[in-house]
Structure 1
Amino acid sequence: MYLMESTEEGRRLLAQEGASGYVRSVLVATGLQPGARALDAGCGPGGISETMAELVGPAGAVVGLDLNEERLREARARNAHRPWVRFAQADVRRTGLPDASVDYVWSQYVFEYLPDRPVALAELMRVTRPGGRVVVSDIDGLGFQNWPFPEHLRVGTQRIVDALATRGFDLHVGRKLFSEFRSAGLQDVRVHLLPYYLVAGAADERLMKDWEIRFAALEPVAAPAFGGHAPYQEHCREFLRMLADPDGFKYAVTLVTEGTRP
């Protein structure tokens, strides 16, 4: 279940993809090549699909899958001038694609929402040809790497994480994927650690907006853990003030796990 949906989610995702700065190099480093048949599993508004399409070129093909029809409309509009890219509404656990039909699979910020990750990983392996690459990019510990980090803010942040866990969300999914890839039978499994954000001083407007949208979208799930909307909103305001502190240091990481289908 995707917990972040809002009217601003498409813009947030595109801004997040654009701010990362590493996607193109990681796609290449993990095996995406010109002419490849590639899958973007959980494509959102199609920003990464666009980069994948540029890398594979017209001799290749990109399929983007997402459950949200609004995100798919955005993705189709963004990639309308590339006939070698197509989008479909599907769950990453049930793609509907033929066996061994792609050379390369990318999935970013999706596995954190899946309590049945082995099912999703098995499906991505099924659609990948032998010798092809499966790559999953996800967070690990988002929101906890701050200093100074007042104890009441740490406790409040943990309340949010615990509330999300009841909906199947795993904040620490990134560190678990290496062993899960190996257990699934993937070979040559490697992990890349990359910055999600790295801020020495005050966070910029983009990151502040990212957190504002995140907090608003999560309020229905998280507010009961604080005893109501008012104390939850106060926690969010204090967290944002911490991000804006020019004397503070904040960072978060993305872990990219890749493996070869035997």
Structure 2
Amino acid sequence: MESLRETRRLLEQERANDARRALLLTGLRLGDRALDAGCGPGGITETMADVVGPEGHVTGVELNPERVAEASLRCQRRPNLSFLQADIRGMGLADATFDYSWSQFVFEYLPERLPALAELARVTRPGGKVVVSEIDGLGFQNWPFPERLREGTQRIVDALATKGFDLFAGRKLFTEFRQVGLRDIQVHLLPFYMVAGAADDRLLMDWEVRFAALEAVAAPFFGGLDSYRAYCREYLRMLADPDGLKYAVLLVTEGTKP
């Protein structure tokens, strides 16, 4: 999913979705030392910095060095915000560093999620919060939704699974939070998008970039590039249909470090 268009897509996605609501709902507070694990270009990291205020501090951790550079440049005037290039499965940070550790849209990419979740718990202080936000079942919640589009979407799910990507990671995190010993676990169901009618240009661009990025992985599951692109065009027409309903959900899982 790496490209210049992907950076733009991530920032537009972050602006369109109410991350602040999820952050406040799960306990991010003024003065907290907070972690944004897998921060990408830093859009949500900035929102976190606004919430914790000048008395707090936010550390954004990102594996991609280009994204770290982009985020650092965009946020260079924010003294309560810093960025680190690292893998969230082994960040090299001290134990019990943060009051609140957040990660969004990262765990779906991890073939093994428990090591990353254990790492988030390790760097969180006792009594602090670990929060993971994931889309669950993206692409399937549409009506009308012709069977050929449903079958095509399942082919993409199958293709992604060969690369360790789990489109249904969100629903599995409650169990995994328990497995790493977090307590007082809650799961919040929030909208990722809700479109009654035709999707706007931003959402259509979001899907276009996804489809383009997935060509190499998904096309073989359609028997070739032409068939895959035909599916993508039909899916985009479905999103633009003024008579249809389209939605996707976030599952935001929070737990407390004992």
Q: TM-score, normalised by structure 1?
A: 0.97
Superposition pairs for residues 165-184 of structure 1, below 5 Å?
Answer: 165-184=161-180
Q: 1:16 is matched by which residue type in structure 2?
A: Q
Matched-pair identity in %: 70
5+ residue gaps, structure 1, are: none
1:132-171 correspondence to structure 2 within 5 Å: 132-171=128-167
User: What does the per-residue CA deviation read over 1:74-121, in whole Å, with 9 as the maximum and x for residues that have no partner?
Assistant: 211221111121101111101111011111101000000011100000
The structure 1 residue matched to 2:123, chosen from 127, 140, 163, is 127
In structure 2, the residue matched to 1:74 is 70
The number of residues matched between the two structures is 258
Give the distance between the partners of 1:72 and 1:249, measured in 2 at CA.
37
CA RMSD for the aligned pairs?
0.8
- 1:25: how far off? 2.1
**Where do 4+ consecutive residues of structure 1 move more than 3 Å?**
none
- The structural deviation recorded for 1:251 is 0.5
- Are 1:200 and 2:193 an aligned pair? no
Measured after TM superposition, the shift of residue 237 of structure 1 is: 0.3
- Distance apart, 1:228 and its partner CA: 1.2
Segment of structure 1 superposing worse, 234-243 or 71-80 = 71-80
| Structure 2 unpaired stretches of 5+ | none
Aligned 1:184-223 pairs, distance under 5 A: 184-223=180-219
Aligned to 2:81: 85
Partner of 2:226: 230
**Cα deviations by residue, 1:113-154 (Å, 9 ceiling, x for unpaired):** 011100000000000000000000001100001111111111
* Aligned amino acid, residue 210 of structure 2: R
SS of structure 2 residue aligned to 1:94: coil
Q: Choose the corresponding residue for 1:15, options 12, 17, 33.
A: 12
- Aligned equivalent of 1:255, options 244, 248, 251: 251
SS in 2 for 1:170: coil
Listed as ranges, the matches of 1:48-63 within 5 Å are 48-63=44-59
Secondary structure at 2:4 match in 1: coil
Q: CA deviation at 1:30?
A: 1.0
1:109 aligned to 2:105? yes
- Distance in 2 (CA, whole Å) between partners of 1:223 and 1:7 is 22
